[in-house]
């Protein structure tokens, strides 16, 4: 597998091609200069909101930036020595091994019976308290 270029390095190459500074981009895409520097240095991931800003700015698709980030993270994770034995031990799922539904009993005629309970509505109650006739509005 070829070494995956970091999203920050790709972003930096765009900056160089367009002869842009971190300050200029930061102001244009409404992101802090420190965030731009963190992106370049690989300390900040390209999130969807950042991908939307960069795609609008450079005339690319947002997927270009998110795919760069995902490809880089996959390549880096594949190199993780702690993850390799875990991945190796995970079996592949086989079709047809899904949990089976419970069998219906003979009493229900092959159908699963659901008990239906009907609750009776309580009778409407008269408000407690006054027993005299209501006053008329005068």
* Residue range 45-56, pLDDT digits in tens: 999 999 999 999
What are the helix (H) ranges across the chain? 7-17, 22-29, 33-40, 48-58, 62-78, 83-89
Domain spans of the chain? Answer: 7-81
pLDDT tens profile 13-42: 999 999 999 999 999 999 999 999 999 999
The closest alpha carbon to 18, from 56, 51, 68, 58, belongs to 58
Confidence of residue 101 (pLDDT cuts 50, 70, 90): confident
Cα torsion 100, 102, 106, 110: sign: negative
Q: What is the CATH number of domain 7-81?
A: 1.10.260.40
How far is residue 36's CA from residue 130's CA, in Å, rounded to a whole number? 74
Confidence of residue 97 (pLDDT cuts 50, 70, 90): low
């Amino acid at each position: 597998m070829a070494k995956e270029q970091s999203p920050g390095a790709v972003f930096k190459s765009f900056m160089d091609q367009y002869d842009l500074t971190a300050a200029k981009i930061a102001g244009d895409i409404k992101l802090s200069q420190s965030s731009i520097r963190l992106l370049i240095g690989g300390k900040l991931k390209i999130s969807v909101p950042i991908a939307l800003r960069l795609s609008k700015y450079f005339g690319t698709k947002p997927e270009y930036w998110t795919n760069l980030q995902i490809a880089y993270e996959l390549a880096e994770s594949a190199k993780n020595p702690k993850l390799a034995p875990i991945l190796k031990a995970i079996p592949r799922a086989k079709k047809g091994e899904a949990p089976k539904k419970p069998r219906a009993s003979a009493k229900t005629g092959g159908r699963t019976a659901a008990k239906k309970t009907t609750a009776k509505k309580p009778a409407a109650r008269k408000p407690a308290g006054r027993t005299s006739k209501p006053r008329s509005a005068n």
